[in-house]
Structure 1
Amino acid sequence: MIKGIAKLLPSKLSHRVFLAFTVLVLLPMLGLQLYAFQRIEDGLFDQVHESGRIQLEQLKSAFETTRGMLIPEVISIEMNYRLMEMIEHPERFDAAERVGTMAEAFEKIQSRSGENSSYFHLQLADRHGHLYESGERRLGDVDAEQFVTSKGPAPGMQPVLEDSPAGKILAYYDQLTNAQGEVIGRIKISFLFTSWIYANTKTFLIIQDYYLIDRQGSILTQSGRSDLDPGTVRRMLQGAGAGPRGYVDDKHAVLLQSTPIPALDAHLVSGSKLDIYFGNARKIKSQFVSLFLVLALFFVLVTYYILSTATRPLLLLQKKMKELVHKNFRLHIPPGRYSGEILTLVQAFNGMITDMNQLIQRLKTEERQKESVRFQVLMAQMDPHFLMNTLNTIKWHATSKQDPDTARVCLALGKLLEKSLNVEEDLIHLIKEVELVHAYAEIQNFRFRDKFTVDFEYDPELNYALVPKLSLQPLVENSIIHGFERMKHGGHILIRVYVERGKLFMEVIDNGQGLGTEDSPRRKLRTRKGIGIHNLRERLQLLFRHEAYLELVPMPIGCKAVLCQPFLLSKPFGGGAEQRQAIEGSGS
């Protein structure tokens, strides 16, 4: 999956940086701001929801308190003996007296209602057709006789919703009876519900519309002109789809909250218009998003321009690199047009081209030198058999003349020449190297009339350890030439070979003149860089790098040369046992 996503990424550096800037900077910032606005809206919504719920409960409580004041007022009329007598026998009283007494009773009832008195209207009619009303407001023409004899709403102070010139009212009806249980009149108390709601909600913090809704979802009365979605109202009454924050009428952008009123078999519903509270926030959000997109587009264009300016030199470098091979590394970028990191990059590129040209020239020079050396080697090997045949001729001639010493020297010299002319071998077995040392020592003893001896000390298991070809011969030569220079006889060379910690040590110890002090001529003579020892050190460096070394160690008598190299063992698969034993016998 990661590989699939990687394939969708742009290949150019400028496009990658542009994509990274957009995805990692712009989009997270936009998402963070939108999240912040959403949190603000959620906070406002919670505040509106909680405040609306509190206001709705307050309104319901006030309504129940106000409604509960009506029944005691009706009872107070029934307990007033004079009023009941006027209602049952109006002919016993003067008309003006009846009207005055009724008005005085209505005023007392309304005065006990306090600030709600203006929302109550009382109507009382006797069976003789006399009608009495409270206050100056009339809620319509009423026929007293029809009012008393009507079989409309059942008595018992059950509320009935009616229309009136003042709007929807809640009408409470009750019958007035005498001691014999005969109906002598009827009373109606009208509660101006719509006006009462409007007056009691003016001081609320949250602006809301209030609705009285029956169980079928029909709006009985409302305090505002806002419409509601019938489907949302039905779901609210059925209790379906309720969220933790109430019901939202998406069509009209209204938050609905309800509370039941059992006495009316209805629900009191509040509607909060969300546009009032979220209109400015959403407008600011829209403006911010628009401004952010404009600024983001501006920054994107500026970023793309900067990236193009920065990557243009890189594209030039890429083009120049493609042309390197075709132009044989003869390229150079003028640094005058660039600055900063790009200038450093251009200078590094030019320096790299210069170093590469120098390296190529060096390789060409070394190649020519190798060709020259190879030519010289070929010249040296042009006719080695001629030299070997000449030595054999001298050897047989010396043998025929009864000169065995000359014959042995010719044989030893042949072995040395044979190994030295074989350039295909760099490492040989220790047993072969010992043979070469024997041959060299025999030639030198013939020259110096046996003034030194050579002994070997090593484990036969090391016969097939690999050592550099002609590695011991220069050390033996150093002992003979410089160590035994002033000696007539008695010279001794001990060659010791052993293995320690994975390293092969070869020591050449002589009893000649030592190295002496730091400034003595003998030390300078024995430690000067002879051709043989110098070549040996270079060969060790080429073969083993830093894993091999050669050093001269001063001793009380004579000198010790130590050669250390990695231990390499290469035993043959079979054969060679007789030859190995013969050499060991001669070395002892």
Structure 2
Amino acid sequence: MVGVSSLNRLIRSIQPNSLKYRLFFAFLLLIILPFFALQVRNHTQVERLYEYRISEQSQNQLDQMKQSFEQIKSQMLLAALQLEKESTVQAALKKETDPGAMLPSQSGIIAPAGSGKEDGIVEILTVFKNRMLPVGEHLHYSLTDLRGHLYVSYEPKSNATYGTFMEQPAVKNLFAGQEPYAWVTDATNDMQTNAYESSPLISLYMVFKDEDNHAVGLLRVGFAYQGWLKKNMSNFLIQQDYYILNETGRVVYESRPDGMLPEDIGAIVKRQQDSLGRKYEVHEATSSIINSSYIGSMNWYLIAQFPLEVFFGDIRSMNQQFFITFGLFTLLFIIITFFILSTITRPLMLLKKKMSEIIVKNFLTSIPTDNYKGEILEIAVTFNNMAKDLTQLVDRLKVEERQKEAIRFQMLLQQMNPHFLLNTLNTIKWNVLSKGDQASADICISLGKLLETSLNSEADLIHLHDELELIEAYAAIQNFRYDQRFEVRYEYEDSLRYALVPKLSLQPLVENAIQHGLAKMKTGGCILIRIYTHVNNRLILEVEDNGAGLSYKPSADPLRKRSRIGLKNLKERLQLLFRTTADLELIELDRGTLARMSLPLLISPPYEHGGQTHVEDHNR
């Protein structure tokens, strides 16, 4: 019972809910999918059968070439042994040069003359070459004595000499070792022939010895295997591309230079040789069948690559036509089914779309109601009313949020806005002036500028030059307090005079530099205010001092009754004004501290220039 219940739940979970998709799902499951699977199965079986037949014939051709390779090598060794036993050859190699014999050229090479008298050894080499026809036309003999004579059965290149022949690494190694002969798969070719015959040779090098076992000469039988392969491949039933890989995996022969041999051909060949099953592989990237055969005596791999498009083109074209017809029939059924049911499902899909857009478009979306009736019309009207109510609610929340932020900003400013101090300062100023104390009066005027600015709640941003005037007033007060222990310097371009900055933004930084950096210095204090622009329209304001630095911890002031709020106040005001586009950081220097404030660059030149405003300009 538990199993049946679980199966029922699974069927219900995958069963379409809408009528449109139920009809389409039934047709797809009962007719289209079985018919499609049957056709794919038949197509796959036909392709695999042809692949197997082609690969089988290709493997037979490779095995024939492999067997021919081995036979030719055996014939080359047999011919070398027979030549060594030729009495004429032995006599010519041991005796001194006959004055009546044909003299070699300056290179020391004696080649076929083409007409006239031939050298005796050259004639013998030619006879051996012709004896092994048709393979003999790809075999080339070179026989040298040890007295500077090189007899060849072919026309050598102009730069070929007896010396270059004897200097070959294979020749040197053979004379230096104990082996009577050696096989070389990449011997240098010195023949004047066609492109294939001039390729590297498979060569047998054999030392000729007399009856006393003394070396009297050296024979090389060269096999121009590329020309032989080209000729034999043209006679095969299946025409395809052939390659030869040496023991290092490098391609030493390719029947077609522009072939599409896979880059991982070495791994493919290794898999085929290690496999106990089929010896072919279908390579999808190059769309080809690859067979290989290992030539053990040479440690080579003979590879055949058959392009599938050559044979499967017609079959795939027919299958393609079937699948196109099948696809068109399926598409026609889907169109008819969806057209019949669209009158019911289209309004629901539109409602779903509008609901997904409602957040992206900030609730500014609606469903047209002109074409609907009955229940669909009621759904559309209800949705439109809901979107309108949400828009009004969001607008009301935005207004309330702005009001809260404005109230919070004013509360922060009020921490610096003691209104009553301004009137008190005016009283003190007139009192000290009546007594001739100009210094105290200047302090009152500077402090009045600061208080007057903080009392102005109409503007949150002021011009940079106005902010710098406030800093000058604040610095004058602090210099009087600390007995002129420090100086304030300014570095900025005149074009930034009307850049907008938060009101009283530099003052907390200067205050922090004086109290925590310069307060303990007796003389030589310096505060550098640097203003400049940076990339992406950024305004950078820096306050640098040469004081104690961030690591300095001043002793607590017992008379201080409230916490220091300068930097915290400034950070909160920057957050309210610029959100995440403003930043404030403190950087410890080798000597002193750098406070850097970064905010968007806003330039607001005034329409007209007025005079400076200070405490004297207002009647209190």
TM bracket, shorter-chain basis: 0.3 to 0.5
| Larger helix share, 1 or 2 | 1
TM-score by length of 2: 0.45
